[in-house]
Structure 1
């Protein structure tokens, strides 16, 4: 599978498994899981033929580890980032003292005034590494990295969870827990 097709397939799977499973006649099961055979059949029925080996390649090579197989390998789901309601069953976790969020510079005034909100997703996405946040922010324009006082948020009662691919999730981050991380 060439790189262009891998990226195209990854984007299609993200759209289906995170945002619009009905697009191919699917519904997400508990925890956001879909049987692999059902997914492949649904894709094939819509003219997007994909083999299990090709799906394995996309899952294994996705640099953001957006997808995960169940322990038996029979089901697949998106690791996080859903705009449809899904309970991933992630347990509350103690975050590191500081987390980071990448955004575009044009969004900074609103974020510093209102805090971070999930927008069209279920959760705010945070990372443990500046480099990851910088990469995320760069997808939307000139990147800015925000430092999140995760320890302070946790002490104030905010719950954190961490997805299978290491993305930290929380419901919101009030502006008082944010500062600009200028070492970019």
Structure 2
């Protein structure tokens, strides 16, 4: 039986990047039937119970996954590299948001800004602690301050995911500070 960390990493891969890995298809809003997910995981040598799936969803420290109201569907909250519409509503951001990175990325960021790369959005945090955790995944973290309210006032569109990650298409370098 796989442990919760293994299940969470596998779900991230499947629900954010490669649903075809186990032969499932996400709907346009990135949902998949829980029964289909569990059946197809089992067909690919990863048999987990609904209770284990619920535990992964509710204990994931980044709240990466959500169930719909009746627990019949599941999806990743953000971070997709495949085309989906998360049906997010635009939001007014706080004055400052944060982005965690590492030193080797700074030259490019201050020249070109932040881009979504292979994902659907740039991810920003409302607090420095979260940004630091994100940056730590790649080395010694550096926290960037993003003038988000100024961007919003100039017409940039912000979204807030279900797990409170701020999302935007890009951040031009003039709004980024150390």
TM over 0.5: yes
Q: Which residue in the other structure is 2:100 paired with?
A: 102
**Which whole-Å CA distance do the structure 2 matches of 1:113 and 1:179 have between them?**
12
Q: Could you list the runs of 4 or more consecutive aligned residues of structure 1 that deviate by over 4 angstroms after TM superposition?
A: none
Q: How many residues align?
A: 178
Deviations 1:30-51 (A, max 9, x none): 2100000000000001110010
SS across alignment from 2:114: coil
**Which whole-Å CA distance do the structure 2 matches of 1:34 and 1:107 have between them?**
35
**Which whole-Å CA distance do the structure 2 matches of 1:13 and 1:40 have between them?**
11
Structure 1, gaps ≥5 residues long: none
Counterpart of 1:140 (choices 138, 141, 146) is 138
**Which whole-Å CA distance do the structure 2 matches of 1:14 and 1:91 have between them?**
23
Matches within 5 A, 1:143-154: 143-154=141-152
Deviations 1:42-88 (A, max 9, x none): 00011100100000110010000000000111100000000000100
**Which whole-Å CA distance do the structure 2 matches of 1:136 and 1:101 have between them?**
8
RMSD: 1.0
Matches within 5 A, 1:34-113: 34-113=32-111
Q: Which residue in the other structure is 1:19 paired with?
A: 17
Deviations 1:63-114 (A, max 9, x none): 0000000011110000000000010000001011110000111111110111
